[in-house]
Structure 1
Amino acid sequence: MSPVISARGVHKHYGKKMALDNINVQIDAGKVVGLIGPNGAGKTSLLKGILGLAPVAGELTVLGMNPQRERVKLLEQVSFIADTATLPRWIKVRELIAYTEVVHPRFSRAQCMVFLANTDIQLNDKVQQLSKGMVTQLHLALIMAIDSKLLVLDEPTLGLDILYRKQFYERLLNDYYDAQKTIVITTHQVEEIEAILTDLIFINQGKLVLNSSMDEIANTYVELHVDAHYKEHALAHNPIHVRNLLGGFGMLYEGAHHQRDSLAALGRLATPSLSDLFVAKVKPQMFVQGGV
C-alpha cells in the first residue's frame, strides 16, 4: 500500500530563511502522528505544503497526488482544522449543517449530531451567539463528520476547556479513527495527545529532529530518577537531558539499552514523557551544560 504522505528532500525558503530543510517523511495509513515543534520550527510550512496551500520544493505526494497540481481532487479526501475556527457569524447552526451536507458528499449529518450532542450548541443558535469555545466545538463537529482519508489537526482544541479537550480526543479515537484513516496533529499541549499517538515527529529550525514510532521511542529512550548523591555517577553515563526533581534529578538517555542495568542500580527507570523528550531533542544542550 502506498504511503498517505511521502516527502523526500522537501525544502522551503522565505528569502534567506530556511523554513524546511531537506525533510524526509513517510506516513502510512492508519497512523496517528504528532507533529511537534516550537513556534517558527517549520510545522506550518510543512502542513501548507501537504494541503497544497503553498508550494514546496522537493518530492511531495499526498494520497498519491501532487498537492499543488491536484489540490481540488485531494481535498475531497482530506479534512483540515486550523488553530482558529472561522465560520459565518450570521448563519444558524442548522443552516450550516445543511450547507455542508450539500457541498461535501462525504459529510454525515448523523455523525455531526453525535459530536454536537455533548455540547450546549442548539440548532437554532446563530454562530454570532456562540462563545469562542462553542464555535470551535461546532467547527470540529462539522469537520470530523466528513469521512476523510487524511485528517490534519492544527492546534484543534485551542480555546477549549480541559474537559472538552479530553472528550474530543476520546471521540477522535472512538468515533472517528479507523485503520483506513490517517491523522496528523500539531499541538503545544503534547501531554494531551501522548496516549493516542502511534508515531511522533519533532521538527526544529526546519529540520527533522526525531521521526519515530511510539514503540521505538519506548525502546530507545529511558529516564533515570536519581538521588542527588548519585548525580555524578549518573552524569558519567552521558544523559541528553537533565531536569531537577524534588531531592534529585531526572536524567534522560538515548540508546541506553546496554546501560539499563547499571542505570537501574543508581535509581528508578521510567519512560520519559513527550514534553521532556521534546526539550531533550530540541534543546539538548540546555540543561546538560547549563549547570544542574
Structure 2
Amino acid sequence: MICIQARGLRKTYGTTVALDGIDLEVKEGRIVGLIGPNGAGKTTALNAILGLTPCQGDLRVLGKHPWSARDELMREACFISDVAVLPRWMKVSQVLDYVAGVHPLFDRQKAEGFLKRTSIRHASKVSELSKGMITQLHLSVVMAINAKLLVLDEPTLGLDILFRKQFYESLLNDYFDGSRTIIVTTHQVEEIENILTDVIFMDRGRLVFNRSLDEIESRYVELTAKPENVVAARALRPVYERSSLGRTVLLFDGVDRAQLAGWGSTRTPNLADLFVAIMDSSQTGARGGLQ
C-alpha cells in the first residue's frame, strides 16, 4: 500500500521556488528520514503532505487529497512541529483531558506511560514547564494517538541528548508497529540513522537522493585508501573523494568490495558522510552515480 504519492509537486513564494516538481512515493510501514540544509524545502513538503500548504501538482496521502479532505486525513495523521505550542494556561492533566475529548484515537493510558518516564507533574501548568518539558509533553500526547501516519519536524529540538535517545528508542519500540508510517526531519542525522528504513535528501526544492537503507548498504562503499593505492582506486571512478586525517577517502557506487580488498579499509558510509557527499555533488552539478 502507498501512504504518500506525489507527482510534479511544486510550490513557489514569489520568485522563490520551495518545491521544484517533486515526484515521491512512500509505502506504508516505513520510517523515512527527510534530510536537507536550511531552506531545502523540507518543512514546505511536510506542510503540503499535511494539507497546510496548497501546491501545484498531484498529491495523495493515505488515499486522500490533503487539501480538500484535510479533516478526514487528520483523523489518521499526527504532526509535531519544531515550533509546537501548547496553551500556557492549561495544566498537564487538562491537556490530556482535552485531547481525550477531541481525538477518538487517543490512548490516554499510553500517554500516561510516556509521562511517567519524565519529571512532569499533572498539576503543573504548561507555563511552568521548561522548553524541553513542553516538548516531552507534546511528544507524549501525539505518540499516544494511534495514527497511520506520524510526521515529525525536528521533534527533539531543545532536548538533551539523554531524552533524545530515549525518544527515538520509544518511537521504534513503543510506537512503530510495522504498519504505521513515520516521516521525520532532523539536523541530527546520526541520531536517527539506526531507526530509519529509508532516507531522502533534499536540496533547493528538489529530491537529490532517495534510497532505502538496504540499498545504501548494498550499493555504497567507502574506501580509506593506502597512499600507494590512491591512483589505482581513482581509476575505478569514485563518485566522491575527501581527505580525513591525512588519508584519502573515496566513495564508490556499485563497486564490488572485493575489488577494493587490500587497498585500504572499507565500510558502508554513514548517513552524515553520504549526505555531505551528495550535497556537494548536488551543488556542483556533478552528481554522477549519487542519484
Same fold (TM over 0.5): yes
Paired residue secondary structure (2:238): coil
In the other structure, the counterpart of 1:126 is: 125
CA offsets 1:161-194 (integer angstroms, 9 cap, x no match): 0010000000001111112210000000001110
| Counterpart pick for 2:264 among 263, 267, 273 | 267
Task: Tell me if structure 2 keeps the 8 A contact 1:227–1:247.
Answer: no
CA distance in 2, matches of 1:286, 1:153: 27
CA distance in 2, matches of 1:158, 1:262: 43
Paired residue secondary structure (1:225): strand
CA distance in 2, matches of 1:241, 1:158: 31
In the other structure, the counterpart of 1:106 is: 105
Task: Tell me if structure 2 keeps the 8 A contact 1:224–1:264.
Answer: no
The alpha-carbon distance between structure 1 residues 179 and 286, as it changes in their structure 2 partners (threshold 3 A), is: closer
In the other structure, the counterpart of 1:80 is: 79
Paired residue secondary structure (1:279): helix
CA distance in 1, matches of 2:56, 2:137: 35
Instruction: Name stretches of at least 5 consecutive residues in structure 2 with no aligned partner.
Output: 287-291
CA offsets 1:174-232 (integer angstroms, 9 cap, x no match): 11111221000000000111011111111111111111111111111110012334333
Query: How far off its partner does 1:286 sit?
Result: 8.0
CA distance in 2, matches of 1:286, 1:234: 24
Instruction: Name stretches of at least 5 consecutive residues in structure 1 with no aligned partner.
Output: none
Paired residue secondary structure (1:265): coil
Aligned residues: 285
Query: How far off its partner does 1:247 sit?
Result: 4.2
- Identity of counterpart residues, as a percentage? 53
For the aligned residues, what is the CA RMSD? 1.6
CA offsets 1:107-134 (integer angstroms, 9 cap, x no match): 1110001111111101111111111101
TM-score (norm 2): 0.94
Query: How far off its partner does 1:94 sit?
Result: 0.6
CA distance in 1, matches of 2:204, 2:269: 23
| Counterpart pick for 2:280 among 279, 283, 290 | 283
Query: How far off its partner does 1:22 sit?
Result: 1.9
Task: Tell me if structure 2 keeps the 8 A contact 1:5–1:62.
Answer: yes
In the other structure, the counterpart of 1:93 is: 92
Map 1:1-292 → 2, pairs under 5 A: 1=1, 3-257=2-256, 260-284=257-281
Task: Tell me if structure 2 keeps the 8 A contact 1:228–1:247.
Answer: no
CA distance in 2, matches of 1:232, 1:95: 66
CA offsets 1:86-105 (integer angstroms, 9 cap, x no match): 11111110111111110111
TM-score (norm 1): 0.93
CA distance in 1, matches of 2:282, 2:255: 18
Paired residue secondary structure (2:222): strand
Task: Tell me if structure 2 keeps the 8 A contact 1:53–1:68.
Answer: yes
Runs of 4+ in structure 1 off by over 4 angstroms are none
Query: How far off its partner does 1:50 sit?
Result: 0.3
